[in-house]
Amino acid sequence: MPAAILTRRGFLKTSGSLVITFSLGGLVSRSAAAASAPTAPDVWPFKTVAPDEVDGFVAIDASGKVTIFSGKVDLGTGVRTAMTQIAAEELTVPFGSVDVIQGDTLLTPDQGTTWGSLSIQNGGTQIRQAAATAREALLAQGAQRLGVKRDDVEVRAGRVVAKSTGKSVAYGALIGGKTLSLKVDQKAPLKDPSTYTIVGTPVPRLDIPGKVTGRFTYMQDFKRPGMLHARVVRPPAIKADLLSVDDSAAKQVPGYVATVRKGNFLAVAAKTEWGAIQSAAAIKATWSEWKGLPDEAKLWDFVRTSKVVKDEAVQTVGNSADALKSATKKLSATYNFAIQTHGSIGPSCAVAEFRDGRLTCWSASQATHLLRQQLAQMLTMKAADIRCVYIDGSGCYGRNGHEDAAADAVLIAKELDKPVRVQWMRADEHGWDPKGPPTLFDYRAALGEGGAPTAWESEVFIPYKPAKFTVPLVAAELAGLPADPAFPGNIQQSLAIPYGIPNVKATAHWLADTPLRPSWIRTPGRMQNTFANESFLDECAVAASADPFEYRRRLLKDARGLELLERLVKLAAWTPRAAGAAKAAGEVAQGRGVAYTKYELVRTYVGVVADVDVNTKTGAVQVKRFFVAHDCGQIINPDGLRNQIEGNVVQTVSRTLIEQVTFDRSHVTSLDWRSYPILRFPEVPQVVIDLIDRPKEKPWGAGEPTAAVVPAAIANAIYDAVGARLRSVPFTPDKVLAALKKA
Amino acid sequence: MATTVTLTVNGKTARIHVDDPQMPLLYALRNDLDLHGPRFGCGLGQCGACTVHVDGAAVRSCVTPIGNVAGKHVLTLEGLGSPEKLHPLQKAFIEEQAVQCGYCINGMIMQAKALLDSNKKPTEEEIRTELANNLCRCGTHVRIVRAIQRASASAK
Ligand code: FES
Ligand code: FES
């Protein structure tokens, strides 16, 4: 990982203004193998982090080394490499001369949470514009230095060159170590994509050599001098009160240092990690009883009867109520999607240290700027006195436990006045990370002449979304410290449909209550909503005895979407069929299903075909193959993009077939990989991809869209195979057998 | 009971002072020897992130007491190869770009090494079966299988 080691700083007086310079060569160490940790510079603030300043994003040292300061972080997706490509391309410097520092509130601008498939689309675009502004300024300065006209110069590999004389001056010699002191110019001309040599190529990822040789420093590997190891002791029931603590046995554990108790927050710290684990196990705590969770067996009744805080019309076209009233052929269906967990392979981990009244907190948070606000709120401290630093953790697919582990470490470090590392155990992660909430849907449609829908109504029941984008910190809640209510993500998006149906009404019912602390998890809401939309559209196609591709083509007015469907037909060698036409022969039936979306109706187009085998005796579904046609506009790194798409498919096959959080009246009961299994190697499908590259278009996101279409494609393929409709995710064998009975 | 355990790690003798011989090997490797290849994933023997080789066999270091490996040979991902001198499996994982977050990859490579040690040319199905108890959350499976096939093909 690029580790921020601030090795040399100086203060330069230039034209009366104070300019901070630093050795950029030492600021980051490019090699993923170098395991040095970010250390705290003693100058706070250290540099500008203003997102409208070029210096917020870009610094160039005397040797020409470029450092990019990115508020978006690499969650295992390859974003660091992609950002390096974008910056190197736009600045026109060698790829190897660019380093990226990510998610450090002292150094990087706040570019928003790393979520929503927006790292490239928004974060990369901001960095590209800052780089273009810098390049233009350097061209002007270079022309002046070379004594030629502005239109006589061009950039070649980090040097401004006079075309007439061939004389040149390096970026480093022009600006080396000084700030540019320029606003980002939104009109600075961008390079013509046809001249790109770095963007659009499959540059190998920078972090992989370190990761396959054990040299990469993950958050879980990070240490501070004098650091204590801590473990949290969570209540056995979510809202139980801590009545008493007996830590006499813990005190006997070698290495034990202290017990920390604050309200219902309980933790132990020790000199060694094993000491902390043993101490936590030895603590005897008595908790009050709490059974406030709903009955899991009646979860969907609970959701349906929860108080509605607000109804929101997500899409309205024509008058669906009238159209439904007068229709003769009508369809209706109810769908639901289980509560799911993030399930990172490495449980959350964080280190916190107070020094001179200031707090530094290292974590794998996808939102260090937001975390800083939350920690300030929890501690009633000034945000300016807190530095949150990102260090890569285990894959993160949304707001999981990282921020909570950070708050745990902060509380304990504050109590003990020592650097503290908190590592969650597997049960902490499975039990206490916030969850993708349960989602329930009702659908109605009317079909007209020829089977096309004349009316479409959808309703989704989802937990309420407050104004603030935060999920409360577990430590703050347990300790009774200030925290905001949970924001579950923009989970109403993608309920609106991309099809031309004359009467449409899509409604979100925002609910007052949901069983477990909700948050966003990959493709939040968009996955659930697209599952229901594309399943119900398939039901309409079946009712119309239409080929599902043909049916979609009839309803789609969007040329780019239609082109994608054409490519997908070819890729999957799809032959026209009435949906549900495949018939079981023997025990294992084969089927194929399609699903399509234009993500949130405004960006990435993706369509998939799933090939499945359904065992009619056991109810087991095996997904054999996925064909994906993908158009996210300009592609930055085609291999990185494929890696993301494959990951989307495999992870979502797992979520669709297997995953659901279980709970009793007190707490989550799926606390390990046995009770919350995920897809294993023998069950993983082949993934065949067709990338549609549009170098002249905007680059859109790819971390989520493919996941949106996976569940419906599987449901539709199962229907195709056996004529049974799966309307409840996950499609466990018992649900498949029950649907087969009804078919 | 505090004691000193002597073992060989990546070819070198290591003497580790432990408070408790029941401490899993994983913590000795990560904290006492600063070897970060083996990773903490579950501590329950369920995911494979902590896999190392003990006397040539793949074991889960999170459930292997340090006291049980006294006098034995432990090999970690660091011992397999370095960025300068890659093991064929590491090279193949780079060539296939078979990593997303990479947290599981230690286990994938160490388990694959155990397979290739006994079966130089496994079929795709054999690879998938061998890795059935190694979990990956990022969905890197298809690339991991390809990387192991590549490493196997490159071996004489
Ligand atoms: S950490 Fe050892 S098997 Fe999961
Ligand atoms: S690559 Fe992230 S868990 Fe496997």
Q: How far B90 CA lies from chain A's nearest CA (Å)?
A: 6
pLDDT at A15: 28
Would the pLDDT of A14 be above 70?
no
Would the pLDDT of A459 be above 90?
yes
B-facing residues of A in 335-364 (CB < 8 A) are 343-347
Last residue of a domain, one of B25, B48, B79: B79
Query: Same structural domain for residues B16 and B31?
Result: yes
Residues of B in contact with A221 (CB under 8 A): 30, 36
Dihedral over alpha carbons A243, A249, A255, A259 (to 10 degrees): 10
pLDDT at A438: 98
Across the strands, what pairs with A98? A66
Query: DSSP label at A180?
Result: -
pLDDT at A680: 98
> Do A145 and A20 contact (CB within 8 A), yes or no?
no
* Three-point CA angle A544, A549, A555, nearest 5°: 70
Query: Over the stretch A337-364, which tens digit does the pLDDT of each residue have?
Result: 999 999 999 999 999 999 999 999 999 9
Band of residue A21 on the pLDDT scale cut at 50, 70, 90: very low
Order of strands across the sheet that contains B73-75 = B12-18, B3-9, B73-75, B51-54, B57-60
Query: Same structural domain for residues B31 and B61?
Result: yes
Closest ligand by atom to A672 CA? 1
Query: Same structural domain for residues B75 and B110?
Result: no
Q: How far is the CA of B51 from the centre of ligand 1 (A)?
A: 7
3-state SS string for A494-517: CCCCCCCCCCEEEEEEEECCCCCC
Task: Write the residue in A640, A647, A672 that is nearest to B140 by C-beta.
Answer: A647
**ipTM of the complex model:** 0.98
Query: Over the stretch A251-275, which tens digit does the pLDDT of each residue have?
Result: 999 999 999 999 999 999 999 999 9
Query: Same structural domain for residues B87 and B144?
Result: yes
* Range of weakest confidence among A112-116, A506-510, A542-546, A594-598: A112-116
B73 touches chain A (CB under 8 A): no
Number of domains composing chain B = 2
Q: What is the torsional sign of CA A284, A289, A293, A298?
A: positive
Q: Which value, in Å, is the radius of gyration of the alpha carbons in chain B?
A: 15
Last residue of a domain, one of B79, B94, B114: B79
Query: Over the stretch A209-254, which tens digit does the pLDDT of each residue have?
Result: 999 999 999 999 999 999 999 999 999 999 999 999 999 999 999 9
Max Cα–Cα distance, chain B, nearest Å:
48
Query: Same structural domain for residues B75 and B7?
Result: yes
CATH number of the domain that residue B117 is part of: 1.10.150.120
Query: Same structural domain for residues B41 and B70?
Result: yes
Nearest residue to A189 (alpha-carbon basis) of A244, A250, A253, A129: A129
User: What's the mean pLDDT in B36-62?
Assistant: 98
* Percent of the residues in chain A that have a pLDDT greater than 90, as a whole number: 85
pLDDT at A30: 34
Query: Over the stretch B93-112, which tens digit does the pLDDT of each residue have?
Result: 999 999 999 999 999 999 99
Order of strands across the sheet that contains A153-156 = A153-156, A159-162, A168-170
User: What's the mean pLDDT in A317-335?
Assistant: 96
A37 touches chain B (CB under 8 A): no
* Percent of the residues in chain B that have a pLDDT greater than 70, as a whole number: 99
DSSP B39-73: --S-SSSSS-TTEEEETTEEEEGGGSBGGGGTT-E
> Do A692 and A574 contact (CB within 8 A), yes or no?
no
Helix (H, G, I), strand (E, B) or coil at A548: helix
Would the pLDDT of A287 be above 90?
yes
Neighbours of A134 (CB within 10 A): 27
pTM of the complete model: 0.94
Max Cα–Cα distance, chain A, nearest Å:
85
pLDDT at A76: 84
Query: Same structural domain for residues B14 and B70?
Result: yes
Would the pLDDT of A36 be above 60?
no
B-facing residues of A in 471-530 (CB < 8 A) are none
H/E run at residue B79: helix B77-80
Helix (H, G, I), strand (E, B) or coil at A265: strand
Mean pLDDT, chain A, as a whole number? Answer: 91
Ligand 2 pocket mutation pick from B97, B136, B145, B146 by most atoms within 8 angstroms of CB: B136
Query: Same structural domain for residues B108 and B58?
Result: no
Residues of A in contact with B100 (CB under 8 A): 76-78, 395, 643, 647
User: What's the mean pLDDT in A61-82?
Assistant: 91
CATH number of the domain that residue B16 is part of: 3.10.20.30
Q: Please report the domains of chain A, with CATH numbers, ordered by start residue.
A: 3-203 (3.30.365.10), 220-289+342-432 (3.30.365.10), 296-339+435-511 (3.30.365.10), 545-742 (3.30.365.10)
Query: Same structural domain for residues B148 and B89?
Result: yes
Residue B118's domain comprises 81-153
Last residue of a domain, one of B50, B79, B108: B79
Query: Same structural domain for residues B9 and B74?
Result: yes
Would the pLDDT of A26 be above 50?
no
DSSP A125-150: HHHHHHHHHHHHHHHHHHHHHHTS-G
pLDDT at A580: 61
Query: Same structural domain for residues B72 and B109?
Result: no
Would the pLDDT of A722 be above 60?
yes
B-facing residues of A in 61-120 (CB < 8 A) are 75-78
Query: Same structural domain for residues B7 and B75?
Result: yes
Would the pLDDT of A27 be above 80?
no
DSSP A621-633: EEEEEEEEEEE-B
